[in-house]
Chains A and B, each alone.
Chain A
């Protein structure tokens, strides 16, 4: 009886068509962007590093799949004696790509563990390469002030696209290339598996960022954001801390690149333009409110839904506007950025004061008080400014 009820419940759930299909697409976009936006919030919202090079961190994940995982999968085919054709020259690498990927997908269809292994390998390598990239990006620029750091990171992001376009061995140059599908073994809608994996990784990265921000390291990051000279004066290596932050966030952002490429099963440099992977996440962060996860989440949800609506209905409003609807999305991006900066610079959910049990930050901010940090949190008492002054005397 219960078995039949359970079967009935499972079979009565709506199928993934129509509205559920749209929800899946929105969830996938949300999953990719929430990873990037949270990493950006970690860098800019909490540590004050204005990373305008998110696109290059994402593209590293995609390049990992096209340049490393693809080659590994072809080599595995050679090891298990599956005929796959040559891929030594640029010509073979680009023009034989679709046929080779088809062969690999056929093997993955019967060997789910090969697909899962390739995905895990890609994620791990992308994280390592992302961290290395973060380190390299920080070398010339981390000592610079915010404006110059921003310019250097934009330049690095553009340079990565030039590399991708002009070196066919990375991702097939301007043509792009197909990549093996690690979920080929799944008989149904494979985008759902990508959606579950993406949202799960997004959830895990949220908890990782949250734990780091609530730790003493998170408070150190905020103090660097507020006044790095003061932090340096008490013996902290600000350059090293900022470099570590950039490396960590870069590694997490690269995961989004892997997942996005896995979703579309194709890597082309033109999918990783700056406005898509840098400016939209920035708008999400600024709209929601930098420095808090709730704001990042809200900004991400609003922008993803808003973009989906524009994509769906821009052809409806096309006859009523004097320019082509294709540029509507970018126009609205610029307009929204300006509007938020002018009318709501702290975002929809402004950053709140830190709450740490035993320390009254509200009082600390309002007036100068003396905190006995040596005592336990419960016994810790704050003295008003007049008492503090007397105690100092």
Chain B
């Protein structure tokens, strides 16, 4: 219910803004979020890959 209210409030806020400044703010933060998702995923995947390789190497040496 709380989530619905927040969503409804956001949509109403969007609809009530005539000049587009409200849209601009939201789009700006959506853009930043999209910008952040990619490096976070890349770093996560890169670290996982390197860790797995290091473990495989350690098991080989052992």
Chain A residues with a Cβ under 8 A of chain B: 2-4, 6-7, 10-11, 13-16, 20, 23-24, 27, 30, 34, 186-189, 192-193, 195-196, 199-200, 202-203, 206, 210, 292-294, 297, 301, 349, 352-353, 355, 360-363, 366
Nearest A residue to B51, CB-CB: A355
Given B18, B28, B50, which contacts A352 in the complex, CB threshold below 8 Å? B50
Nearest chain B CB to A28 CB, angstrom units: 9
Complex contacts, B5 vs chain A, CB 8 Å? 2-3, 6
Determine if B49 and A355 form an interchain contact, defined as CB atoms under 8 angstroms apart: yes
Nearest chain A CB to B41 CB, angstrom units: 8
Given A16, A352, A363, which contacts B60 in the complex, CB threshold below 8 Å? A363
Q: Contacts A294-B43, A355-B52, A366-B60 given: A13-B6 contact, CB under 8 Å?
A: no
Complex contacts, A363 vs chain B, CB 8 Å? 56-57, 60
Determine if B10 and A6 form an interchain contact, defined as CB atoms under 8 angstroms apart: yes
State A362–B46 Cα separation when bound (angstroms): 16
Complex contacts, A353 vs chain B, CB 8 Å? 53
Given A3, A199, A210, A349, which contacts B31 in the complex, CB threshold below 8 Å? A199
Complex contacts, B45 vs chain A, CB 8 Å? 210, 293-294
State A349–B50 Cα separation when bound (angstroms): 12
Size category of the B interface is 35 or more
Determine if A362 and B56 form an interchain contact, defined as CB atoms under 8 angstroms apart: yes
State A27–B36 Cα separation when bound (angstroms): 11
Determine if A361 and B56 form an interchain contact, defined as CB atoms under 8 angstroms apart: yes
Given A7, A200, A349, which contacts B34 in the complex, CB threshold below 8 Å? A200
Q: Mark B8-52, 1 if CB is under 8 A from A, else 0.
A: 111011000011111111111111101101110011011001101
Determine if A293 and B35 form an interchain contact, defined as CB atoms under 8 angstroms apart: no
Nearest B residue to A382, CB-CB: B60
How many A-B pairs with Cβ below 8 Å?
118
Q: Contacts A6-B10, A192-B27, A360-B60 given: A294-B42 contact, CB under 8 Å?
A: yes
Determine if B37 and A203 form an interchain contact, defined as CB atoms under 8 angstroms apart: yes
Nearest chain B CB to A146 CB, angstrom units: 27
Nearest chain A CB to B35 CB, angstrom units: 5
State A110–B4 Cα separation when bound (angstroms): 30
Q: Contacts A3-B5, A20-B28, A195-B31 given: A361-B38 contact, CB under 8 Å?
A: no
Could you jot down 19 A-B contacts, CB within 8 Å?
A3-B6, A6-B5, A11-B25, A15-B21, A15-B24, A24-B28, A186-B23, A189-B27, A192-B28, A192-B31, A196-B34, A292-B46, A294-B42, A294-B46, A349-B46, A360-B56, A362-B53, A362-B56, A363-B56
State A3–B2 Cα separation when bound (angstroms): 9
Nearest A residue to B25, CB-CB: A13
Nearest chain B CB to A262 CB, angstrom units: 15
Nearest chain A CB to B56 CB, angstrom units: 5
Given A14, A15, A196, which contacts B30 in the complex, CB threshold below 8 Å? A196
Nearest chain B CB to A109 CB, angstrom units: 13
Q: Contacts A10-B13, A188-B21 given: A24-B43 contact, CB under 8 Å?
A: no
Determine if A16 and B39 form an interchain contact, defined as CB atoms under 8 angstroms apart: no
Complex contacts, B37 vs chain A, CB 8 Å? 203
